[in-house]
Each structure stands twice: as structure tokens, then as C-alpha cells.
Amino acid sequence: MAKQKSTPPKNQTKLSTATKTYPKWFYVVLVFIPIAFFALLELGLRAFNYGNAYDVFVPSASTPSRLVLNPELPFKYFRGMSAPPTVIPDEFDRVKSPDALRVFIFGESSTAGYPYPYTVSFPAYLRRALESLYPNKKIEVVNFGIAAVCTYTIRDIAEASVHHSPDLVIFYNGHNEYYGVLGVGSSVRFGSSRVVTNLLLMLQSSRLFQLIQNSIGGMAKLATPEEGATLMSRVVGESAIAYQSDAYQRGLDQYDANMRQMLQLFGEKRIPVVLGKLVSNLKDQKPFVSLTETPNADAAFESARAALAKKDTVESKRLFLLAKDLDGLRFRAPEAMNERIESLAKEFGAAIASLDQIFSMQSPQGIVGDNLMCDHLHPTVAGYQLMGKSLLETALSHRLLPAGAWSIPLDSLHCLTLASLPYSPLDEQVASIRLAILKNSYPFVPKGQPNFFLRNFKPTSFLESLALNVLQEKVMYDVAHLQAAERSMAQGDTVASRQELESLTAKFPLNEPVWSNAARVLMKQQRYDLALRYFLRAAALKPTAYSTKWIGQILLTQNNAKDAARYLEQSISLGSAKDAQVYYNLAGAYYNLNQLDKTMNALKTCLELAPTYPNAKRFYEQLRAEQ
């Protein structure tokens, strides 16, 4: 049987091979959906306060009309670290006062004043000096120094600060371009690409990005630190960086590029800038790592010592500088960094403070060592004051500060500023222990070696125990200062007691209870004249029944009845209405003002509150007899 050829049904259509086209709005929607999803997710995370905004400045907790560097800002850079470095709580007005002289200072741990309190730093010196030079201006010297950061962090702060109209900007930075966070040799970085680093820094403020980071454990999470590890030892990644290697050059280029952005920004706003050249310990800091170069760092250092022994100071200094540059651990900036600073200053019209030369002139044989440096790169207390003096002289000599300064010889101004240095025996003990911790950590000891200094440290005095408790956060610094002041007073050392109180109030200048508590210590010493200054400052910050009461009583003993009466009346209005002592002293003030009716009324109230109050009844009866 023959096969019949099958034919398709007549109604079957042929499949089309033409590509279907969609309207343009379809593609727009296709792109918009994921964008909208992530945008809504970002908004949702923000609505539920997830993550951090990382605003550079936030309102002061005590005075919302003033701004302070955001205490949360370091978390943006030190990802995965539970205790990043702290910021300095210097405040400035949100709206700049017409009579303000505002100076912003940028830098690293040396700007912050490490290992001493920030009140010892060179920005603190500048504040005290400017307050003497410009008594009729509101001085705002703001220290933006943060430990273990490089120019990426500094740039972010600088870009936000330019909108707050500083009258002068000072930079002292460059040591941390290799091992500071985001530095070319740091364990906390986003790779070697500058473009990638800038992009990821920009994304840090995104809550969605923070969610992703937290979900995967952080993009740059630090390993669990060894016992007693310091901040810098924890952020060192690529340890050895050879002289003139690619990494060495990248550190210089990173500094140069970030500084250019900042200097251009300030230049566009016509804000004057001072750049400080970097200082290091040359004579007394042996290279941390000696690599295989010829000559190597150790050989150059020993040759420098030999030349110094022969009193060839020129050759010795050259070799000490070479030893520093050959040091494979680049905690100290190479001399090429100072050359970059000079080049940038020339290009952007910034003033140069030749701190390296000034420190050399103040050092034996013209070579900086332990005389002005307490470790490899941080100055001593005297060194920080010398930095402040030199930076101020640079600003004045270049006429970068406004007119109206008092005519004070600079040497006299320096002596006056040194005399008001708020540095106490407790501060010295805290700094000493902090420095010992540093020198028992990498790079002063082999990497990975545990730091048992604190575990083995046995205090031998009350002050050492107190300082240790401060560092271990068992006692707050303000409480410790008061305890040290009380102890010194009990031992008859009124000078040390005063130093503790001066240091305390310098650290917490806007804290009313701090000033009142300091005044209370002076009252126990019967130093009423000194206590008055502290009480007046406390009352200026926030008048209380306690501070105004004692101001009134002290003024009464100084025969200032008019002001005494005013403060005692204020004390009553603030809560002393049941304090018989206040009414008795108020009666004395009224009597001296010849206001007898008010005197009688005050005495009546005093006796109603305390019928046996000493002398009150006799005083009252005497006045009645006279009437």
C-alpha cells in the first residue's frame, strides 16, 4: 500500500521567526525596579536607624549650638575594630561669631598630643597663646588630630571643615601614609587603587553598604589583637617597605594627591594655610628593620654614631637621616615627605614651618634625639610647646593672623604660655605608663610577641595606682584628678594640688560640675580667692544654687556687697530658699549696702529656718534696738 503524503491542516499557521519588540518604557521599568528596590531598602534602613551617618560634625551634647568632631567618625575608617582611636572634643560655634578667631588644625597622633593629654598638644599651646594675643576675640582653636590615620581621613574632615570659615588652617601630618589606616602598608585598606579607595569611602555612609559589610564580617576586619597590642601595631599590614620601592613611592604619591585636594579647596576659599615639616627622633632611635640594601639601615646608623663620636656633626646628621630613610619599617616619614611638603607649599602659596630645622637648632650637636622626642616620632612635653611656638611665629611672620593683636614680645608670650601649661603629676604618670606600653609592643619588640607590661606592672605609689586605673578605665580621668588633688592637699603639696585642678578644668572646660568640684577642693584649702575664679566659671556655664551661694559669700568677705547680694539672691531663686546660711550672708550684704529693711527680712527668714543660727539672733536684736 502506498504511503500517502501528509499535508498540514489548512487552518495551521506557520511559526513566526521575527523578534518581538518591547516598548521603551519596558526597559526603563526593567532598570528602575532593582534601583527602586535598593533605594527603598536604603530608606528603610535609615528609617530604622541602622548603621551610622558618619557626619563629620555633630552638635555638642552639652551645647547644641556648638559643633564637635563626630565621636563615631573613626568607625568609618577602622572597620571591624571595637575600640578605634578617639577624637578630641574641641568645640566651635555652629554660627561663627563676628569676633571669633577660628583656627583648624589637622594631623595624626602628634597633633593629638600623644602620649600626653591633648591639653599638652601644640594646638592647645596655640589656643593659650592666641588668648593672650587677642584678649578681645573669641578664640576657637580646634584640634582635629586622630591617632593612626593618614591623609584619606584628614581629607574627609578638611572637606567638611571648609564650610565653617576658619581664619587659619594648620597641617602637621605625613608620618602615617604607610601604616596609618588606609595607608599603603596598612592592614586596614581597600587595596592599592586610589579610585577604589575613594569609591569605598564614599559608600561608607550608605546603610545598605554597611549592612553588606556587617553581613560578611567587614571588608577590612582586624584580627584579634595580641595582649597589650597598641593601635599602630594592629593596623600594620605590609611590614617591610624598602627604600624607593613601589610601595614607598605610592605612599609619597598618596600624600601628595590627597594634600593637593585639600590645599586647592582651602585656596579656592582664600583660607591661609601653614604646613609643618615633619620631625623624627634621629639620634636615639635605632632603625626598626634593616633590609639588604647596601648600605643598610643598621650600618648607616652605626656609621652615624661613629661620626658623632668624632664630632663630625655634619656627616653624622647625614647618616642618621639616611638610616631613617633606609629603615624598612616606615613609622617615620622619609625625608622625601618633607620635600613634598616644601613643593606643595610653594605651589599653593602655603607658609612653611620648618619644624625639623627648629628642633635641630634646639638639640645637642644639631641632631634631634630624646632631648625633644619621647619615642620614634612623638615630641616630649617641651617638644610640643616648641612646635606651638614655631607654628605661631610662622603664622605671625607671614601675616596670616588678623590685625588687632596685642604688642607682646614673642619670648615674653612664650614664657606666659608655658606658665599656663595644664600638666599635672597624674598626667605625667599616665603618659609614662602609656609610653611604656608602646615600647613593649611592636615595632619596639618582635612582631607577635605579647605585651605583658600591664600584667606585670606593680604600682609603687598612690599616683601610679591612680594612673593605672585611668588607663584601664577603672576610674574616670576627671575623678582621678580630684582624688590626686585631695591627696596632694592632704600631704601639704598645694602646688601639685593646683596643677591637678588646672589640668582637670583644661580637659573639661565646658563642664559646670568639674569647675564646681575643683572649687570645692580649693575651699578646703581655704584658698577662697582661687576658688572664686572656679565658681565664677561654673556659674557662667550654668548657674546653680551651690556655685552662686559661694560666689556671694566670697565676694562678701572681699567687701563687694553689691555683687555679693546679687549672687546670693540668685542662689535663693535657684534652690537655696531653705538655706539659713545664705540668708544670713545676704543680710550682711544688705547691711553693708545700708538696706536695713531687707537686712531685717533676711535675718527673720534665717531665724525661721534655723532659730539657733550663730550670731543671727544677736544681729537681729541689735538692729531692732537701733531702730
Residue 45 has a pLDDT of: 65
Residue 224 has a pLDDT of: 46
Angle formed at CA 190 by CA 185 and CA 196, multiple of 5 degrees = 120
**What's this model's pTM, rounded to 2 decimal places?**
0.89
Residue 417 has a pLDDT of: 96
Residue 20 has a pLDDT of: 67
Q: Is 121 helix (H, G, I), strand (E, B) or coil?
A: coil
**Cα 425 vs. chain centroid, distance in angstroms?**
21
Closest listed residue to residue 335, CA positions, set 174, 476, 444, 516: 174
pLDDT in tens, 547-556: 999 999 999 9
Q: Is 172 helix (H, G, I), strand (E, B) or coil?
A: strand
pLDDT in tens, 242-280: 999 999 999 999 999 999 999 999 999 999 999 999 999
pLDDT band at 53 (very low <50, low <70, confident <90, very high): confident
Q: Is the pLDDT of residue 523 over 50?
A: yes
Q: Is 542 exposed, middle or buried (0-12, 13-18, 19+ CB in 10 A)?
A: middle
β-pairing, 66-69 vs 57-59, is antiparallel
Range of lowest pLDDT (159-168, 204-213, 339-348, 585-594)? 204-213
Residue 592 has a pLDDT of: 96
In the chain, count H helices and then E strands.
Answer: 27, 8
Q: Which runs of E-coded beta strand occur in 6-95?
A: 57-59, 66-69, 91-93
Distance between CA atoms of residues 557 and 564, nearest Å = 9
pLDDT in tens, 463-517: 999 999 999 999 999 999 999 999 999 999 999 999 999 999 999 999 999 999 9
Q: Give the contacts of 474 (CB within 8 A, at least 6 positions apart).
A: none
Q: Is 150 helix (H, G, I), strand (E, B) or coil?
A: coil
Cell of 569: 539672691
Q: Is 322 helix (H, G, I), strand (E, B) or coil?
A: helix
pLDDT band at 205 (very low <50, low <70, confident <90, very high): confident
pLDDT in tens, 171-201: 999 999 999 999 999 887 777 788 888 888 8
Closest listed residue to residue 323, CA positions, set 358, 355, 288: 288
Asked if residues 128 and 235 have their Cβ atoms less than 8 Å apart, the reply is no
Q: Is 296 helix (H, G, I), strand (E, B) or coil?
A: coil
Closest listed residue to residue 171, CA positions, set 114, 106, 118, 113: 106
What percent of the chain has pLDDT above 90?
A: 75
Asked if residues 505 and 514 have their Cβ atoms less than 8 Å apart, the reply is yes
* Strand ranges of the sheet holding 91-93, from the earlier edge strand across to the other edge: 57-59, 66-69, 91-93
Q: Is the pLDDT of residue 1 over 50?
A: no
Q: Is the pLDDT of residue 454 over 50?
A: yes
Q: Quote the mean pLDDT of the chain.
A: 91
- DSSP letter at 573 equals I
**Average pLDDT estimate for 410-426:** 95
pLDDT in tens, 524-548: 889 999 999 999 999 999 999 999 9
| Contacts for 39-47: CB closer than 8 Å, 24+ residues apart | 41/208, 42/206, 42/207, 42/208, 45/207, 45/208, 45/211, 46/207
Q: Which helix (H) or strand (E) holds 142?
A: strand 138-143
Longest dimension (CA), the chain: 155
Residue 221 has a pLDDT of: 47
Q: Is the pLDDT of residue 308 over 90?
A: yes
**Cα 469 vs. chain centroid, distance in angstroms?**
22
pLDDT in tens, 353-401: 999 999 999 999 999 999 999 999 999 999 999 999 999 999 999 999 9
Closest listed residue to residue 543, CA positions, set 582, 520, 570, 519: 570
Question: Which comes out higher in pLDDT, residue 451 or 8?
Answer: 451
Distance between first and last Cα of the chain? 154
Distance between CA atoms of residues 302 and 322, nearest Å = 11
**Average pLDDT estimate for 280-292:** 96
- Give the phi and the psi of residue 350 in degrees, each rounded to 5: -85, 155
The alpha-helical segments, DSSP class H, found in 101-221 are 109-112, 122-133, 151-161, 194-203, 207-215
pLDDT in tens, 564-581: 999 999 999 999 999 999
Range of lowest pLDDT (223-227, 323-327, 455-459, 546-550)? 223-227
Asked if residues 605 and 583 have their Cβ atoms less than 8 Å apart, the reply is yes
Q: Is the pLDDT of residue 2 over 80?
A: no
β-pairing, 66-69 vs 91-93, is antiparallel
pLDDT in tens, 322-334: 999 999 999 999 9
Q: Is the pLDDT of residue 453 over 60?
A: yes
Residue 131 has a pLDDT of: 96
Angle formed at CA 472 by CA 148 and CA 54, multiple of 5 degrees = 40
Q: Give the 3-state secondary structure of 236-291.
A: ECCCCCCCCCHHHHHHHHHHHHHHHHHHHHHHHCCCCEEEECCCCCCCCCCCCCCC
Q: Is the pLDDT of residue 29 over 80?
A: no
Cell of 66: 556648638
Angle formed at CA 258 by CA 347 and CA 139, multiple of 5 degrees = 80
